[in-house]
Amino acid sequence: MLRIAEILSELSKQGQTESGIAKQIEGIEEDRLKAALNEEGYPFRNHSPKGWFFVGKGAEPLEKSILEYAKNNCD
């Protein structure tokens, strides 16, 4: 589970949290996971319907690896 599409799919499941998913991915923690989703155009919407929704420009980066973000922003 490294592609953004896979992460979003997991997050849409009842009971899944950003923290739980980050623990399953070596090299990324919860804050970095959230920041990566936000930077890729997926801010968290805290009102109905809650969740991560794409609001970025262009095509959704669903095939992009979350580790690309972590590697590029580890400084």
| pLDDT tens profile 10-22 | 999 988 999 999 9
Q: Report the candidate in 39, 45, 61 with the shortest Cα–Cα distance to residue 11.
A: 45
Quote the pTM value.
0.85
Q: How far apart are CA 20 and CA 59, in angstroms?
A: 27
Residues 6+ apart with CB under 8 A from 8: 42, 52, 62
Q: Report the candidate in 53, 71, 57, 56 with the shortest Cα–Cα distance to residue 8.
A: 53
Q: What angle do CA 41, 58, 28 make, to 5 degrees?
A: 35
Mean pLDDT of the chain: 89
